[in-house]
Amino acid sequence: MIFDAEHLSLIQEAIANKDEHFFLSKLTGAKREPRKGRFSSALMVSAHRAKHLNKIDELAADALILNLEDGVAPEMKRIALLALCYFLQNLPTDTPLLVVRINPLDEGGDQEIALLNRFLPDAIRIPKVRSKEDIKRARALVDPAIDLHASCETKEAFQNIASIAESGAEVLYLGILDLLADLALPQSILKLGNPTIDYILAKFLVDTRSAGAEAVSFVYQDYKDLEGFSDWCEHEKAMGYEAKACISPDQVAVVNRIFKSFDMQKARYIKERFEAMAARGITGFRDEKYGFIDEPIYKDALNILQRGEE
Protein backbone atom coordinates (compact mmCIF):
# COMPACT_ATOMS: atom_id res chain seq x y z
CA MET A 1 0.00 0.00 0.00
CA ILE A 2 1.26 3.48 -0.86
CA PHE A 3 -0.87 5.49 1.59
CA ASP A 4 -2.64 4.50 4.80
CA ALA A 5 -6.43 4.24 4.89
CA GLU A 6 -6.94 7.74 6.29
CA HIS A 7 -4.85 9.47 3.62
CA LEU A 8 -6.33 7.28 0.89
CA SER A 9 -9.79 8.46 1.95
CA LEU A 10 -8.69 12.08 1.54
CA ILE A 11 -7.37 11.32 -1.95
CA GLN A 12 -10.60 9.60 -2.95
CA GLU A 13 -12.61 12.56 -1.71
CA ALA A 14 -10.43 15.00 -3.65
CA ILE A 15 -10.90 12.97 -6.84
CA ALA A 16 -14.67 12.73 -6.34
CA ASN A 17 -14.89 16.50 -5.78
CA LYS A 18 -12.41 17.30 -8.58
CA ASP A 19 -10.39 19.21 -5.98
CA GLU A 20 -7.32 20.15 -8.03
CA HIS A 21 -5.87 22.29 -5.24
CA PHE A 22 -5.54 19.22 -2.99
CA PHE A 23 -3.00 17.75 -5.41
CA LEU A 24 -1.41 20.91 -6.80
CA SER A 25 -0.49 22.05 -3.29
CA LYS A 26 1.41 18.80 -2.74
CA LEU A 27 3.07 18.13 -6.11
CA THR A 28 6.80 18.81 -6.20
CA GLY A 29 8.31 16.40 -8.71
CA ALA A 30 9.89 12.99 -9.14
CA LYS A 31 11.73 11.13 -6.42
CA ARG A 32 12.65 8.26 -8.70
CA GLU A 33 14.57 7.49 -11.88
CA PRO A 34 12.90 5.87 -14.91
CA ARG A 35 13.75 2.20 -15.42
CA LYS A 36 13.98 0.00 -18.48
CA GLY A 37 13.21 -3.67 -18.90
CA ARG A 38 11.24 -6.26 -20.81
CA PHE A 39 7.97 -7.61 -19.50
CA SER A 40 5.40 -10.34 -20.13
CA SER A 41 2.29 -9.23 -18.22
CA ALA A 42 1.01 -5.67 -18.60
CA LEU A 43 -1.97 -4.86 -16.35
CA MET A 44 -4.30 -1.94 -17.09
CA VAL A 45 -4.98 0.30 -14.05
CA SER A 46 -7.41 3.24 -14.20
CA ALA A 47 -5.69 6.47 -13.16
CA HIS A 48 -8.82 7.87 -11.51
CA ARG A 49 -9.27 4.87 -9.17
CA ALA A 50 -7.24 5.78 -6.09
CA LYS A 51 -7.92 2.41 -4.47
CA HIS A 52 -6.30 0.67 -7.44
CA LEU A 53 -3.37 3.09 -7.63
CA ASN A 54 -2.73 2.53 -3.95
CA LYS A 55 -1.92 -1.14 -4.66
CA ILE A 56 0.72 -0.42 -7.29
CA ASP A 57 3.48 -1.88 -5.12
CA GLU A 58 1.52 -5.10 -4.47
CA LEU A 59 0.49 -6.14 -7.98
CA ALA A 60 2.14 -9.18 -9.57
CA ALA A 61 2.26 -7.81 -13.13
CA ASP A 62 5.60 -7.01 -14.75
CA ALA A 63 4.26 -3.68 -16.00
CA LEU A 64 1.30 -1.48 -15.14
CA ILE A 65 -0.49 0.58 -17.78
CA LEU A 66 -1.73 3.60 -15.81
CA ASN A 67 -4.63 4.61 -17.98
CA LEU A 68 -5.74 8.20 -18.61
CA GLU A 69 -7.48 7.45 -21.92
CA ASP A 70 -10.31 4.95 -22.47
CA GLY A 71 -12.46 4.39 -19.40
CA VAL A 72 -11.76 7.81 -17.88
CA ALA A 73 -14.63 10.22 -18.49
CA PRO A 74 -13.67 13.55 -20.10
CA GLU A 75 -14.62 15.52 -16.99
CA MET A 76 -12.35 13.27 -14.86
CA LYS A 77 -9.21 13.33 -17.00
CA ARG A 78 -7.60 16.40 -15.41
CA ILE A 79 -8.12 15.24 -11.83
CA ALA A 80 -7.01 11.72 -12.79
CA LEU A 81 -3.76 13.17 -14.18
CA LEU A 82 -3.08 15.11 -10.98
CA ALA A 83 -3.88 12.12 -8.77
CA LEU A 84 -1.60 9.90 -10.85
CA CYS A 85 1.28 12.37 -10.55
CA TYR A 86 0.77 12.45 -6.79
CA PHE A 87 1.08 8.68 -6.63
CA LEU A 88 4.15 8.69 -8.92
CA GLN A 89 5.74 11.21 -6.58
CA ASN A 90 5.25 8.96 -3.55
CA LEU A 91 5.99 5.49 -4.92
CA PRO A 92 8.58 3.12 -3.44
CA THR A 93 11.31 1.89 -5.76
CA ASP A 94 10.19 -1.76 -5.94
CA THR A 95 7.18 -1.47 -8.23
CA PRO A 96 6.40 -3.00 -11.63
CA LEU A 97 7.39 -0.94 -14.66
CA LEU A 98 5.05 2.05 -14.85
CA VAL A 99 3.65 3.04 -18.24
CA VAL A 100 1.25 6.00 -18.46
CA ARG A 101 -1.28 5.70 -21.28
CA ILE A 102 -2.11 9.30 -22.15
CA ASN A 103 -4.80 10.73 -24.41
CA PRO A 104 -4.13 11.46 -28.10
CA LEU A 105 -1.66 14.32 -28.54
CA ASP A 106 -4.27 16.64 -30.06
CA GLU A 107 -6.80 15.81 -27.34
CA GLY A 108 -4.79 16.90 -24.33
CA GLY A 109 -2.01 14.35 -24.53
CA ASP A 110 0.65 16.97 -25.23
CA GLN A 111 -0.28 18.82 -22.03
CA GLU A 112 -0.31 15.58 -20.06
CA ILE A 113 3.23 14.85 -21.23
CA ALA A 114 4.41 18.27 -20.07
CA LEU A 115 3.28 17.50 -16.52
CA LEU A 116 4.27 13.82 -16.50
CA ASN A 117 7.84 14.72 -17.48
CA ARG A 118 8.27 16.15 -13.96
CA PHE A 119 7.33 12.80 -12.37
CA LEU A 120 9.31 10.46 -14.61
CA PRO A 121 7.22 7.35 -15.21
CA ASP A 122 9.16 4.54 -16.86
CA ALA A 123 7.33 5.03 -20.15
CA ILE A 124 4.57 7.06 -21.79
CA ARG A 125 2.22 5.27 -24.19
CA ILE A 126 0.79 7.23 -27.13
CA PRO A 127 -2.64 6.12 -28.44
CA LYS A 128 -4.18 6.43 -31.91
CA VAL A 129 -0.78 6.58 -33.62
CA ARG A 130 -0.95 6.66 -37.41
CA SER A 131 2.58 7.30 -38.69
CA LYS A 132 6.20 7.86 -37.75
CA GLU A 133 5.48 11.61 -37.65
CA ASP A 134 3.28 11.01 -34.58
CA ILE A 135 6.17 9.23 -32.86
CA LYS A 136 8.68 11.92 -33.78
CA ARG A 137 6.33 14.56 -32.41
CA ALA A 138 5.83 12.62 -29.18
CA ARG A 139 9.55 11.93 -28.82
CA ALA A 140 10.23 15.66 -29.02
CA LEU A 141 7.78 16.22 -26.15
CA VAL A 142 8.71 13.32 -23.85
CA ASP A 143 11.71 13.59 -21.52
CA PRO A 144 14.61 11.61 -23.08
CA ALA A 145 14.92 9.52 -19.91
CA ILE A 146 11.37 8.18 -20.39
CA ASP A 147 10.70 5.33 -22.86
CA LEU A 148 8.11 5.86 -25.56
CA HIS A 149 5.43 3.24 -26.22
CA ALA A 150 2.69 3.35 -28.86
CA SER A 151 -0.68 1.75 -29.57
CA CYS A 152 -1.23 0.17 -32.98
CA GLU A 153 -5.01 0.50 -33.31
CA THR A 154 -5.58 2.30 -36.62
CA LYS A 155 -5.33 1.00 -40.17
CA GLU A 156 -2.64 3.59 -40.88
CA ALA A 157 -0.54 2.36 -37.96
CA PHE A 158 -0.96 -1.24 -39.14
CA GLN A 159 0.43 -0.22 -42.53
CA ASN A 160 3.37 1.59 -40.90
CA ILE A 161 4.35 -0.70 -38.01
CA ALA A 162 8.05 -0.92 -38.84
CA SER A 163 8.53 2.81 -39.46
CA ILE A 164 6.66 3.65 -36.23
CA ALA A 165 8.96 1.39 -34.24
CA GLU A 166 12.06 2.65 -36.01
CA SER A 167 11.10 6.26 -35.23
CA GLY A 168 11.59 5.82 -31.49
CA ALA A 169 8.86 3.60 -30.02
CA GLU A 170 10.43 0.91 -27.86
CA VAL A 171 7.19 -1.06 -27.37
CA LEU A 172 4.06 -1.41 -29.53
CA TYR A 173 0.68 -2.62 -28.27
CA LEU A 174 -1.86 -4.22 -30.57
CA GLY A 175 -5.31 -2.65 -30.06
CA ILE A 176 -7.14 -5.25 -32.08
CA LEU A 177 -10.76 -4.20 -31.45
CA ASP A 178 -10.12 -0.62 -32.53
CA LEU A 179 -8.12 -1.91 -35.50
CA LEU A 180 -10.91 -4.22 -36.63
CA ALA A 181 -13.39 -1.35 -36.38
CA ASP A 182 -11.10 0.92 -38.40
CA LEU A 183 -10.78 -1.80 -41.05
CA ALA A 184 -14.58 -2.27 -41.07
CA LEU A 185 -14.12 -5.90 -40.05
CA PRO A 186 -16.57 -7.50 -37.57
CA GLN A 187 -15.33 -8.33 -34.07
CA SER A 188 -16.97 -11.75 -34.53
CA ILE A 189 -13.86 -12.90 -36.46
CA LEU A 190 -11.75 -12.56 -33.31
CA LYS A 191 -11.53 -16.31 -32.77
CA LEU A 192 -8.72 -18.79 -32.41
CA GLY A 193 -7.74 -20.20 -35.78
CA ASN A 194 -9.26 -17.40 -37.84
CA PRO A 195 -6.76 -16.79 -40.68
CA THR A 196 -7.36 -13.02 -40.77
CA ILE A 197 -6.64 -12.70 -37.05
CA ASP A 198 -3.55 -14.90 -37.34
CA TYR A 199 -2.33 -12.71 -40.20
CA ILE A 200 -2.82 -9.57 -38.10
CA LEU A 201 -1.00 -11.14 -35.14
CA ALA A 202 1.86 -12.45 -37.27
CA LYS A 203 2.39 -9.23 -39.23
CA PHE A 204 2.26 -7.11 -36.09
CA LEU A 205 4.79 -9.33 -34.32
CA VAL A 206 7.25 -9.73 -37.18
CA ASP A 207 7.19 -6.09 -38.28
CA THR A 208 7.60 -4.87 -34.70
CA ARG A 209 10.44 -7.22 -33.84
CA SER A 210 12.16 -6.61 -37.19
CA ALA A 211 12.33 -2.93 -36.26
CA GLY A 212 13.90 -3.75 -32.90
CA ALA A 213 10.86 -3.05 -30.72
CA GLU A 214 8.82 -5.28 -28.39
CA ALA A 215 5.30 -6.42 -29.32
CA VAL A 216 2.47 -6.71 -26.79
CA SER A 217 -0.61 -8.69 -27.81
CA PHE A 218 -4.18 -7.50 -27.42
CA VAL A 219 -6.51 -7.26 -24.43
CA TYR A 220 -8.92 -10.20 -24.01
CA GLN A 221 -12.09 -8.47 -22.89
CA ASP A 222 -13.92 -11.36 -21.22
CA TYR A 223 -11.85 -11.25 -18.03
CA LYS A 224 -13.95 -14.01 -16.39
CA ASP A 225 -13.20 -16.50 -19.18
CA LEU A 226 -9.78 -17.61 -17.98
CA GLU A 227 -9.92 -20.83 -19.98
CA GLY A 228 -10.41 -18.93 -23.24
CA PHE A 229 -7.76 -16.42 -22.20
CA SER A 230 -5.32 -19.24 -21.47
CA ASP A 231 -5.96 -20.73 -24.92
CA TRP A 232 -5.13 -17.37 -26.53
CA CYS A 233 -1.95 -17.07 -24.46
CA GLU A 234 -0.79 -20.55 -25.49
CA HIS A 235 -1.54 -19.72 -29.14
CA GLU A 236 0.27 -16.39 -29.05
CA LYS A 237 3.30 -17.82 -27.25
CA ALA A 238 3.50 -20.52 -29.93
CA MET A 239 3.50 -17.73 -32.53
CA GLY A 240 6.45 -16.06 -30.79
CA TYR A 241 4.80 -13.45 -28.55
CA GLU A 242 6.41 -12.76 -25.20
CA ALA A 243 3.98 -10.20 -23.73
CA LYS A 244 0.23 -9.69 -23.41
CA ALA A 245 -1.99 -6.95 -22.03
CA CYS A 246 -4.28 -7.81 -19.08
CA ILE A 247 -7.32 -6.26 -17.43
CA SER A 248 -7.45 -8.33 -14.23
CA PRO A 249 -5.01 -9.86 -11.71
CA ASP A 250 -6.31 -13.31 -12.66
CA GLN A 251 -5.27 -12.70 -16.27
CA VAL A 252 -1.85 -11.58 -15.00
CA ALA A 253 -1.40 -14.93 -13.25
CA VAL A 254 -2.19 -16.79 -16.49
CA VAL A 255 0.23 -14.68 -18.55
CA ASN A 256 3.00 -15.08 -15.99
CA ARG A 257 2.49 -18.86 -15.93
CA ILE A 258 2.45 -19.33 -19.70
CA PHE A 259 4.74 -16.64 -21.09
CA LYS A 260 7.42 -17.09 -18.44
CA SER A 261 7.72 -20.83 -18.89
CA PHE A 262 11.10 -21.56 -20.49
CA ASP A 263 12.94 -24.84 -20.92
CA MET A 264 16.08 -23.48 -19.30
CA GLN A 265 17.61 -26.92 -18.77
CA LYS A 266 17.45 -27.73 -22.49
CA ALA A 267 18.78 -24.28 -23.43
CA ARG A 268 21.74 -24.59 -21.05
CA TYR A 269 22.52 -28.07 -22.38
CA ILE A 270 22.52 -26.86 -26.00
CA LYS A 271 24.66 -23.83 -25.12
CA GLU A 272 27.26 -25.92 -23.30
CA ARG A 273 27.25 -28.70 -25.90
CA PHE A 274 27.58 -26.32 -28.86
CA GLU A 275 30.36 -24.30 -27.22
CA ALA A 276 32.27 -27.48 -26.38
CA MET A 277 32.00 -28.73 -29.97
CA ALA A 278 32.77 -25.29 -31.43
CA ALA A 279 36.02 -25.28 -29.44
CA ARG A 280 36.94 -28.35 -31.52
CA GLY A 281 36.00 -26.60 -34.75
CA ILE A 282 32.63 -28.33 -35.16
CA THR A 283 29.56 -26.09 -35.43
CA GLY A 284 27.04 -28.62 -36.77
CA PHE A 285 26.57 -32.06 -35.23
CA ARG A 286 24.01 -34.72 -34.27
CA ASP A 287 23.20 -34.85 -30.58
CA GLU A 288 21.72 -37.95 -28.96
CA LYS A 289 19.25 -35.91 -26.85
CA TYR A 290 18.07 -33.10 -29.14
CA GLY A 291 18.91 -34.11 -32.69
CA PHE A 292 20.91 -31.86 -35.01
CA ILE A 293 22.45 -28.82 -33.34
CA ASP A 294 24.03 -25.97 -35.30
CA GLU A 295 24.52 -22.23 -34.87
CA PRO A 296 20.83 -21.17 -35.33
CA ILE A 297 19.83 -23.71 -32.65
CA TYR A 298 22.58 -22.34 -30.41
CA LYS A 299 21.41 -18.74 -30.93
CA ASP A 300 17.85 -19.74 -30.02
CA ALA A 301 19.15 -21.30 -26.80
CA LEU A 302 20.97 -18.07 -25.97
CA ASN A 303 17.76 -16.07 -26.53
CA ILE A 304 15.82 -18.42 -24.23
CA LEU A 305 18.46 -18.13 -21.51
CA GLN A 306 18.49 -14.34 -21.77
CA ARG A 307 14.68 -14.12 -21.64
CA GLY A 308 14.55 -16.51 -18.69
CA GLU A 309 17.09 -14.50 -16.75
CA GLU A 310 15.21 -11.28 -17.47
Quick: pLDDT tens for 61-102: 999 999 999 889 999 999 999 999 999 999 888 899 999 999
Model pTM score: 0.85
Instruction: Round to whole Å and give the CA distance between 245 and 78.
Output: 25
Do the Cβ atoms of 130 and 157 come closer than 8 Å? yes
Amino acid identity, position 107: E
Confidence check: pLDDT of 275 > 90: no
274-279: average pLDDT: 88
Whether 83 contacts 15, CB under 8 Å: yes
- pLDDT tens-digit profile of 218-245? 999 999 999 999 999 999 999 999 899 9
CB atoms within 10 A of CB 149: 27
Domains of the chain (ranges; CATH) run: 5-259 (3.20.20.60), 264-309 (no CATH)
Confidence of residue 310 (pLDDT cuts 50, 70, 90): low
